[in-house]
Amino acid sequence: MAEYRERTASFAAAPVVLVIGCGGLGMSIARALGKREPLLIVDIDAARLDQATEALRLEGYAVSGKQCDITDPAQTKALSAALAQGRGVRVLAHVAAVGMSIGDWRKMMAVDLLGAHLVAEAAGPHMVRGGVGIFISSLASYLPPRDPKLEALLDNPQKPGMCDELVALLGGEPNFDDTYNYAKLGVNRLAERLAIDWGPKEVRALSLSPGMVDSPMARAEGPTLPSHDGTATRVSRSDKAREIPLGRQCSLLEITGVVEFLASDAASFLNGIDIPVDGGHRAAWRARGIIQR
């Protein structure tokens, strides 16, 4: 009679896929990339993290979890120390973000922009040759006008008083929509700089900007979106989707499929760029003169 043993994936001791955020898109990415590599999932919510890792474990994934507030430098340093004990990081999939439901634009900026910087600092030293950092951004990153002073602020979210300087530059506090746009522009710029910094180690960095996605986060943010017509009006998600040349929202699987490609050797010379996955929405915005980027 054979000795009983738990199933262990043959790649369980390989460099990890580090997924930051176990919401809808994070879990979709984890399921796709975890088929061939071990997973380390990070989230601030311990209960949600335990539920996510247990579900994946039951499905047969090699997975572990670590609770971390990505806006806390002490906790991201602890994450880096934990990574130093392993075999390195082959893929960093930074997904964590919040919307207006968080109720505080400064907290949104901290999670959506500062968090990406702190995670990059934590994971960067442990990225292995051939690795890649994929930072989930947003098509909203193309909306801010070109402004060197704004971009300089977004490039350094760890600077004390950064949000106060942003208020002074804008002449008032930004609304939630603008805060999200600024933060995601900062994420794109971070990935571009990391491509230069990490390149000599043969590690790539990219941002991926989804357009309208039917996701748990999007549904939690409510049924309307900014009109982007120069007014403060909002329109229904269905009306907004009509702006997209393909006439519909994107699914999580359509985003995940692009992430799989970017994480693969087939994309080994893609570096330092943003990938809009938007059904042509950016092209429509450019044609209407809504964006300059």
Residues of the chain above pLDDT 90, percent: 84
Q: Which residues pair with 230 in a beta bridge?
A: none
Contact in structure between 99 and 220 (CB atoms under 8 Å): yes
Give me 188's structure tokens.
């794109």
Q: pLDDT tens across 71-111, in order?
A: 999 999 999 999 999 999 999 999 999 988 899 999 999 99
Torsion of the alpha carbons at 98, 34, 28 and 70, rounded to the nearest 10? 0
Which one, of 128, 126, 107, 110, lies nearest residue 118 by Cα? 110
Would you say residue 207 lies in a domain? yes
Residue 231: per-residue pLDDT = 72
Would you say residue 6 lies in a domain? no
What does the alpha-carbon distance between residue 68 and residue 76 come to, in Å, rounded to a whole number?
7
What does the alpha-carbon distance between residue 183 and residue 193 come to, in Å, rounded to a whole number?
15
Domain containing 173 equals 16-284
Would you say residue 4 lies in a domain? no
What does the alpha-carbon distance between residue 30 and residue 12 come to, in Å, rounded to a whole number?
14
Q: pLDDT tens across 48-81, in order?
A: 999 999 999 999 999 999 999 999 999 999 999 9
Would you say residue 289 lies in a domain? no
Residue 189: per-residue pLDDT = 98
User: What backbone torsions phi and psi does residue 209 show, to the nearest 5 degrees?
Assistant: -110, 95
In the predicted structure, residue 9 carries a pLDDT above the cut 90: no
The mean pLDDT of 178-202, rounded to a whole number, is 98
Contact in structure between 141 and 210 (CB atoms under 8 Å): no
Which one, of 142, 272, 269, lies nearest residue 206 by Cα? 272
- pLDDT bin (cut points 50, 70, 90) of residue 10 is low
Would you say residue 9 lies in a domain? no
Q: pLDDT tens across 135-158, in order?
A: 999 999 999 999 999 999 999 999
In the predicted structure, residue 259 carries a pLDDT above the cut 70: yes
What does the alpha-carbon distance between residue 100 and residue 177 come to, in Å, rounded to a whole number?
7
The mean pLDDT of 285-289, rounded to a whole number, is 94
The residues, any chain, with a CB within 8 Å of residue 252's CB and separated by 6 or more, are 24, 25, 28, 213, 214, 215
Contact in structure between 140 and 213 (CB atoms under 8 Å): no
Would you say residue 266 lies in a domain? yes
What does the alpha-carbon distance between residue 167 and residue 173 come to, in Å, rounded to a whole number?
5
CATH classification of the domain holding 89: 3.40.50.720
What does the alpha-carbon distance between residue 197 and residue 204 come to, in Å, rounded to a whole number?
9
Would you say residue 290 lies in a domain? no
Q: pLDDT tens across 12-29, in order?
A: 678 999 999 999 999 999
Residue 276: per-residue pLDDT = 97
DSSP H or E stretch at residue 235: strand 234-236
Residue 221: per-residue pLDDT = 72
Kindly report the average pLDDT of the chain as a whole number. Answer: 94
In the predicted structure, residue 5 carries a pLDDT above the cut 80: no
Which one, of 203, 212, 202, 200, lies nearest residue 280 by Cα? 212
DSSP code, position 136:
E
In the predicted structure, residue 223 carries a pLDDT above the cut 90: no
Domains: count for the chain: 1
| Lowest model confidence (mean pLDDT) among 30-39, 79-88, 231-240 | 231-240
CA dist 213 → 228, 238, 242, 287, 293 (Å): 17, 12, 13, 21, 21
Would you say residue 222 lies in a domain? yes
Outline where DSSP puts E strands in 38-172: 39-43, 63-67, 89-94, 127-136
Higher pLDDT, 91 or 5: 91
What is the SS3 assignment for 127?
strand
